[in-house]
């Protein structure tokens, strides 16, 4: 399968490789600003489409990419608001404080574009994540690590923060950043 991953995320690359796909990695710079009041599913689907479309525009006239499918993706955490990557220490603390002892949603949008035809399909997946009731000191200890600063919602389930997850309802890989089982279904016509 010939895949272009329009993302610099090492986690998304790792998920694809785990499932036997060795993609070309061609992330593009895009404006990730969303209008106020947009819902969680609409947000990730719009951003995923934007990323995939930017990559498509960069390669569409180059025949060496014929036969490829482009995958763009975006993940957010939702707890009464969209939680992207924290801007600083205080923002990371605020997010982690908000999700402790409760549940929140991790939503990933995926856009697939057939480079040859320009046909685009967009999907999303939602996983409910239940956190234990950790302490302020636990949050401060976690924030002192490098891990929270490039993650939506300020945490990585597959990292140190995993100890604070009670359980999830849904797909684990979705929380990591790419719901492969949904992508696999969408890629069936290309196999």
Among all residues, which ones are annotated catalytic?
74
Residue 115 CA to its chain's centroid (Å): 22
Residues 141 and 106: their CA atoms lie apart, in Å, by 23
Q: Is the dihedral of CA 11, 12, 17, 23 positive or negative?
A: negative
CA dihedral 155, 75, 50, 64 (to 10 degrees): 90
Cα Rg of the chain, angstroms: 17
Contact 13, 5 (CB under 8 A): yes
Quote the distance between the C-alpha of residue 175 and its chain's center. Answer: 7
């Amino acid at each position: 399968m010939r895949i272009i991953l329009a993302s610099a995320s090492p986690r998304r690359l790792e998920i694809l490789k785990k499932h036997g796909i060795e993609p070309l990695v061609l992330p593009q710079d895009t404006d990730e600003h969303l209008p106020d009041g947009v819902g969680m599913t609409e947000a990730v689907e719009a951003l995923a489409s934007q990323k995939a479309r930017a990559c498509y525009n960069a390669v569409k006239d180059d025949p060496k990419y014929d036969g490829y499918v482009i995958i763009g993706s975006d993940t957010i955490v939702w707890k009464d608001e969209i939680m992207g990557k924290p801007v600083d220490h205080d923002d990371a603390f605020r997010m982690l404080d908000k999700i402790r002892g409760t549940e929140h949603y991790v939503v990933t949008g995926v856009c697939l574009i057939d480079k040859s035809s320009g046909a685009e399909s967009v999907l999303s997946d939602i996983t409910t994540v239940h956190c234990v009731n950790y302490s302020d000191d636990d949050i401060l200890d976690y924030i002192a690590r490098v891990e929270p600063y490039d993650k939506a919602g300020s945490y990585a389930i597959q990292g140190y923060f995993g100890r604070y997850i009670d359980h999830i309802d849904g797909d684990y890989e979705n929380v990591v950043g790419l719901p492969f089982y949904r992508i696999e279904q969408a890629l069936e016509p290309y196999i």
